[in-house]
Amino acid sequence: MRKERAAPKAAKEPAQDPAPGDTPCNNLALRQAARHVSQIYDRHMAQVGLRGTQYSILSKLNRAGPLSLGKLAETMVMERTALSRAIGPLERDGLVSVGAGPDGRTRSVALTAVGEARFKAALVQWRRAQKEFETAFGANEAETLRSTLRRVIASA
């Protein structure tokens, strides 16, 4: 006796791809937004040979002066190992110097004269990136967003 084959299942309608950012997951939504904003800043920073993350490190050192790796990582809200990897190219290019900290047990990071000059050139590009984002998103909304993100960081 021959078995009859079951009729093939009807093909399902392909699911609609959700729009970028259309997620109930806070982590994914923040990461998607961060990637989007990073692309804007990276495009502008490329004009002076930097990435947005590198500019942020130079900016922090410009404002605060030399910092231990631990303190810089803390203020950047980064893991120390990730910060060390990010500092490598900056040190290689002579933009920062890494040396013994004041107590001899820690390492300290400082902006060099070359790094200060690059930071000043990058500041022009940073202002352009800020303007691009705030024009698209809204200046008041951008300020509210930064305020909200500061609360997110403080709550961690």
Classify residue 4: in a domain, yes or no: no
H or E segment to which residue 27 belongs: helix 26-45
C-alpha–C-alpha distance, residues 128 and 130, integer Å: 5
Classify residue 112: in a domain, yes or no: yes
DSSP 11: P
Classify residue 5: in a domain, yes or no: no
Return left, alpha or beta for 14; rule: phi > 0 is left, psi -120 to 50 is alpha, else beta: beta
**pLDDT score, position 4:** 61
Nearest in space to 41 (alpha carbons), one of 118, 152, 123: 123
**pLDDT score, position 106:** 86
Given a contact cutoff of 8 angstroms between Cβ atoms, the answer to whether 96 and 57 are in contact is yes
Nearest in space to 54 (alpha carbons), one of 3, 96, 5, 107: 96
Classify residue 78: in a domain, yes or no: yes
Classify residue 129: in a domain, yes or no: yes
The domain that holds 101 is classified in CATH as 1.10.10.10
**pLDDT score, position 63:** 97
**pLDDT score, position 100:** 87
Classify residue 16: in a domain, yes or no: no
Burial zone of 100 (CB within 10 Å; 0-12 exposed, 13-18 middle, 19+ buried): exposed
Classify residue 15: in a domain, yes or no: no
For the chain, list the strands marked E by DSSP: 67-68, 96-100, 107-111
Classify residue 95: in a domain, yes or no: yes
Domain total for the chain?
1
**pLDDT score, position 128:** 97
pTM above 0.75, yes or no: yes
For residue 55, what are the domain limits?
37-155
**pLDDT score, position 24:** 87
pLDDT tens over the chain, length 156 residues:
556 666 556 556 556 656 766 888 999 999 999 999 999 999 999 999 999 999 999 999 999 999 999 999 999 999 999 999 999 999 999 999 999 877 778 889 999 999 999 999 999 999 999 999 999 999 999 999 999 999 998 997
**pLDDT score, position 156:** 77
**pLDDT score, position 21:** 63
